[in-house]
A = this chain, B = another copy of it.
Amino acid sequence: MSESISMASEAPSPSLLEVLESGGHRSTAPRRAIASLLEKKQEGFSADALSDELPSVGRATVYRTINLFLEAGAICKLATMNGSHIYSICGVGHHHHHTVCVECGAVDEFRADAVERLISELSAEIPGEIVSHRLELFVNCHSCPEIAGG
């Protein structure tokens, strides 16, 4: 391996419920339902689709809970090419980037030192101070036949 790159396909997510506890939030039935569903969906998911799958939970609560996990860093929000947002469980606790399959929407994480090195290089060339960055790779994972088949 010439580069330090790490995929996160099978990284176990820390229990979302623990995130609630440690954040001083109550463990309620709606939140447990959302957390449970989220942990099944390592794939990228939209807030609205999630809400549809949980008819017993109010839309507002779904959004609130997602933002709660987002602020805790337990999930990531990323922008797709068409401007909508998808969320994804964050296995890696620190800075990383995402790949999104343009066919099936599967999201994966990767961390590559080369990316961070590049940003450092660019910071010397670019006027101003780089505060943060976003890198998203849109891929075709070539392993999504049945999903695309719908």
Name A residues whose Cβ lies closer than 8 Å to a Cβ of B.
Answer: 1, 3, 5, 7, 9, 77, 79, 81, 83, 85, 99, 101-102, 108, 110, 112, 114-115, 118-119, 121-122, 125-143
Number of copies: 2
Set B7, B81, B135, B142: member contacting A135, Cβ < 8 A? B135
In the complex, what residues of B have CB within 8 A of residue A126's CB?
5, 7, 99, 110, 137, 139
Q: Select from chain B the residue with minimum beta-carbon distance to A83.
A: B85
In the complex, what residues of B have CB within 8 A of residue A102's CB?
131
Contact: B130 with A139, CB < 8 Å?
Answer: yes
A99 to chain B minimum Cβ distance, whole angstroms, is: 6
Known A83-B85, A85-B83; judge A131-B139 contact (CB<8 A): yes
Contact: B127 with A137, CB < 8 Å?
Answer: no
